[in-house]
Structure 1
Amino acid sequence: MAGYSEGAAEALAFWLDHMRALDGASENTLKAYRTDVAGFLRFLHLHHGDSLGVARLAQVSQSDMRAWMAQERGRGLSARSLARALSSVKSFIRWLADREGFDATHVLAARAPKFQRKLPRPLAPDAAAAMIEQVDTQAMEPWIAARDAAVVTLLYGCGLRISEALGLTGDQFPLPEVMRIRGKGDKERIVPVLPAARAAVAEYIRLCPYPTEPGLPLFRGKRGGALNPRMISRAMEQARMALGLPSSATPHAMRHSFATHLLAAGGDLRAIQELLGHASLATTQIYTAVDQARLMEIYRDAHPRA
């Protein structure tokens, strides 16, 4: 690989294999890791003007880290993207330091740039219910309307990602009261299935013209193949226009709504983390900020400034 030694390239490949095998990182995540770390390695080669091997990585200094981060910001990388890249680099160097036995303090001590974390934009409970009802009335063919409503109900009622809902197969019907879901990074979690969600899926299956077969997609497209997630996005686009909802009312917003409404109802943050399949509690904690933002909005409405 141009820009650094074969040894550094092999170390990067071994680390990615480690992340895939032991941490269960998805292919998209691995691709992002590879891009971030390879860019860092190329920068070090150009910055120092010499061959970059594994031994040289043990000598990365604070000034190297500052120079790399300054270059990335200078070429227009956002603070959020740079923070992600720095996280990738730290993870790689931490692994390499453990493997090679060197001190990685200078890399690990580098501070990520501050940025305003984007808050999820959930729907209000009545808007989420209206979305499901609207989707259920739109399609000309009753089985397609029932299908779209079943999928959206699973997103909101179970907190599933669209890929998880569409990944269900015929052998999982009828849906049980508790379902095993395999999510990001091939991680498995247990999700309760509400009666409303089970009923919505059962109604879709009753109307669907295609047989429910083990190993084949539960949700079918118009011609019988696997349902394209874009069709659910389109159904929700049509529904939100009819209901006057904002453009943020997307399939993923139904999952955000599931988490936010559970938290508002007194749900335990750790339990919500497990239901969503988040690897880190920090990811789930963003919903506490959403809840606080909603409280402030209610407060401002109740106590307008003169």
Structure 2
Amino acid sequence: MADRYLETGLDLRLAKGTLTWLRDTLSQAALRQGKRGEARLLRLHLAPNPQAATPAVPSLDDFRAEHDPDGFYREEELIRLYLETFPQAADRKIRQRQRLMERQLKALDVIERLLATDPVPGDLVSAWFDKPVADRLVLAGIPTIGALLERIRERGYRWWITVPKLGEKGAARIVAWLRGYESSLGPLPDHATAPVRSLPVSMLTQIRVRETAIVPIEVFTAPQELAGETGSNRHPGRPRIQATNDHQAIESWLATKSGSPNTSRAYRKEAERLLLWAVIERGKALSDLGVEDCAAYRNWLSMLGRTNPEQWPFRIPQGEWIGRRNTPRFSPAWRPFDGPLSASSVRHALTIISGLFEWLVQVQYCAFNPWSAVGRKLAASPDTPDDVELTRVFSTGQWDYLMSFLDALPADDATSRLRFVLPFAQATGLRLSELVDASIGRLYTMPLKDGLGVRWMLKVLGKGGKWRAVPLSSRVMDRLREYLAYRGLDPDPLANPPETPLISRLGSQEPVTGSALYKTLRTVFHQAAESLAADGKDQEAKAFRRATVHWLRHTCGAHLASSGVPVNLLQKLLGHASLATTSIYTETDDERLWAEIESRA
């Protein structure tokens, strides 16, 4: 067959692969039509025929028609003659094989006419995709093509993160295949082919309808009387910005803010929350809010998500404001909160909002800043208090365990990357956004003042667009050289193109995304936790389950402070604007106090 039909000729490997593909294609066509029996038949492999060289065995009726058309022989005589001519006909296995071949041929005849079909939403994913891919989709709750389309339209570009072992590239191939059948399946939205953050803001208005509801600010519309055009706190006269209502004033304020995308999102998030609360909960325009309203919002923020329903003093239930984490903004299930805020998060939100109103006063949009008269003491909460010690940090023992656990993992692309990323992050204290932004072009060397040699440094663009120089130890540089060599690059960092990222995607030289790196590090923390739990160290495992990427930054500060590094140098390394922020690593010595008490017990 290979010699006759394939261009590759007698290549046994390709011949077997082609037969497997043909069998799978035919079986999937049968499944699409609900013909499970035929699909099973076509997947069966025929056992080798021990008498393949002998002629095929005709049926008894065919033998009679050829050898006794006039009915000369009795039935017993005809059967005896038939078996003498074809003794293999008495072999039960050969007869079974013959019947199976006949059934497969009939199934082929049926399925041949069904091949030229397009997928429809009701088709099972197993009818169109290879079994491993189909099994992964089914495990993720996606049994049909329709369910797959619904998942993509609901969650957008990152719909695949809940599908085990699929990955971004596999998801892209599936989306490309779906787009090839838009005539029968319908079009996919733009947010299915690119991350929402990479799409223009105007794209959200094409996906969602403008309405007065708990929706993203881009598609939120306030009633005319609550838009802020005649707010009681409006400054008399024309403002110094091109804004006639509160929504436009917020957009003008956001446009003046520079810095990292994370900072911009934080400002938008807090302005969005306040605007939605003012209109929907309070029934007021943003520029109508007074001192009492601001105090109520402060209490609302601190009570949201942690108050018993019967004790909730506000009009709209808490659940209306809280949704699942990481829900895309284009989804109807999006909400401005994914849970209660910590006390520090509430205070940070109030600082941003107060800054917004201070700016509105400066540009003569508002007459005064009501937040200047509101205290920052939060409403009483039954929640646990803030940590009185720096708990979000790996101890020296925990860090050593993590490194040992990492060294024991099997060598592959992911492990090779982790063996560089973890020491690099812990030694430099870089933020997540700074880690993924680091590139070869940011590296430089300086000669040592005393003796020969050089020190390696990394230029880092931190918060507020401020640059700082971060030293890289010899240990980190050795790890970097190993990682570059594993990626097929020159071990000498500066011999590579300047745009080469220090941390790349798996199997690529493209920079890794912040969300992907976050997920990767969280996964290894959880794996270490499971390993500890298996050894009976449940309490130690809890710390690793709680750990996030930011723990690496705290670990850097805490370990350096405990080794005697001056606080001003720590501030320079970590890029803190205020020395008070850095002092959290130096102002307590609770373990020493515990040791003193323990020694006297």
Asked whether 1:231 is paired with 2:510, we answer no
Residue in structure 2 matched with residue 136 of structure 1 by the alignment:
407
When structure 1 is superposed on structure 2, of 41-50 and 295-304 the one drifting more is 41-50
Superposed, which structure 2 residues align to 1:180-259 within 5 Å? 180-210=459-489, 212-225=496-509, 226-227=511-512, 228-229=516-517, 230-242=519-531, 245=540, 246-247=543-544, 248-259=546-557
Confirm or deny: 8 A CA contact 1:156 1:255 kept in the other structure.
yes
What do the CA deviations read for 1:251-293 (whole angstroms, capped 9, x no partner)?
Answer: 432221110112222333333222112333343333245x433
Distance in 2 between the 1:14 and 1:69 partners?
24
How much has 1:15 moved relative to structure 2? Answer: 1.6
Asked whether 1:117 is paired with 2:381, we answer no
- In structure 1, which of residues 40, 62, 65 is the aligned counterpart of residue 294 of structure 2? 65
Asked whether 1:147 is paired with 2:385, we answer no
Distance in 2 between the 1:91 and 1:167 partners?
28
Distance in 2 between the 1:90 and 1:264 partners?
37
- Aligned residue pairs: how many? 293
How much has 1:132 moved relative to structure 2? Answer: 2.7
Distance in 2 between the 1:284 and 1:49 partners?
42
Are residues 78 and 232 of structure 1, via their aligned partners in 2, closer, same or farther at CA, if it must alter by over 3 Å?
Answer: closer
What do the CA deviations read for 1:220-250 (whole angstroms, capped 9, x no partner)?
Answer: 3442254441334333433454465432454
Distance in 1 between the 2:397 and 2:281 partners?
56
Residue in structure 2 matched with residue 178 of structure 1 by the alignment:
457
How large is the Cα RMSD of the aligned pairs?
Answer: 3.3
Distance in 2 between the 1:48 and 1:138 partners?
55
Q: Gapped runs of 5+ residues in structure 1?
A: none
Asked whether 1:7 is paired with 2:242, we answer no
Confirm or deny: 8 A CA contact 2:444 2:456 kept in the other structure.
no
- In structure 1, which of residues 27, 32, 39 is the aligned counterpart of residue 266 of structure 2? 32
Residue in structure 2 matched with residue 293 of structure 1 by the alignment:
590
Structure 1 SS opposite 2:363:
helix
Distance in 1 between the 2:556 and 2:524 partners?
19
Distance in 2 between the 1:66 and 1:250 partners?
33
When structure 1 is superposed on structure 2, of 206-215 and 82-91 the one drifting more is 206-215
Residue in structure 1 matched with residue 577 of structure 2 by the alignment:
279
When structure 1 is superposed on structure 2, of 206-215 and 193-202 the one drifting more is 206-215
More helix by share: 1
Distance in 2 between the 1:205 and 1:48 partners?
56
Distance in 2 between the 1:205 and 1:16 partners?
40
Tell me the TM-score normalised to structure 1 length. 0.78
Higher relative contact order (CA 8 A, sep 6+): 1
Tell me the TM-score normalised to structure 2 length. 0.43
Structure 2 SS opposite 1:19:
coil
Give the aligned residue type for 1:93.
Answer: F
What percent of counterpart residues are identical? 24
Q: Gapped runs of 5+ residues in structure 2?
A: 1-220, 229-243, 306-339, 446-454, 491-495
Task: Tell me which structure has the larger Cα radius of gyration.
Answer: 2
Superposed, which structure 2 residues align to 1:99-118 within 5 Å? 99-100=363-364, 104=368, 106-114=370-378, 116-118=385-387
Distance in 2 between the 1:168 and 1:35 partners?
27
Distance in 1 between the 2:479 and 2:436 partners?
15
Distance in 2 between the 1:79 and 1:168 partners?
31
Give the aligned residue type for 1:203.
Answer: E
